[in-house]
Amino acid sequence: MATAYQNLSDYDFNSVPDASNMSIGIVVAEWNKHITEALLEGACNTLERHGVKPENINVKRVPGSFELTYGAKLMAENSDLDAVIILGCVIQGDTPHFDYVCSSVTNGITELNLMHDMPFIFGLLTTNTMEQSEDRAGGKHGNKGDEAAITAIKMIDYTCKFKN
């Protein structure tokens, strides 16, 4: 339970590079919409707080979490972006569906990171209950969207050091 020891929204503002010249895509799942929209709001607010212009935040929605990797692939191949953030929420149910979706999305994001010359950021909540999801979408554990935005900015900065 790593989140029990660290709030997803807590970070040192000054440790985050300037993002004013960055362009970031966000692919967000519509499934569990009240959670994913809260994640999206957190990500967008954090990106803007660090200088990303609203017009440089490209948001696209896909039906569910399984579709996130394909949506991210299309976004990366058809847009001029520095990174793509993937936001979704899968909650454990009574069937193994949870395991298949979580594993597929995780492996898909790893593959995207290895195949493309830009970072793809994992912002998928994989929780046991709706309450756990709410706690991580602006609740008592902060917002995974904030964390994903900070990770995107830092990874873009990291990537640029190898390109120059």
Greatest Cα-to-Cα distance within the chain, rounded to the nearest angstrom: 50
- Tell me whether residue 116 is one of the annotated catalytic residues: no
Q: Which among 34, 50, 97, 141 is annotated as catalytic?
A: 97
φ, ψ dihedrals at 91, nearest 5°? -110, 135
Q: Could you give the residue numbers annotated as active site? A: 97
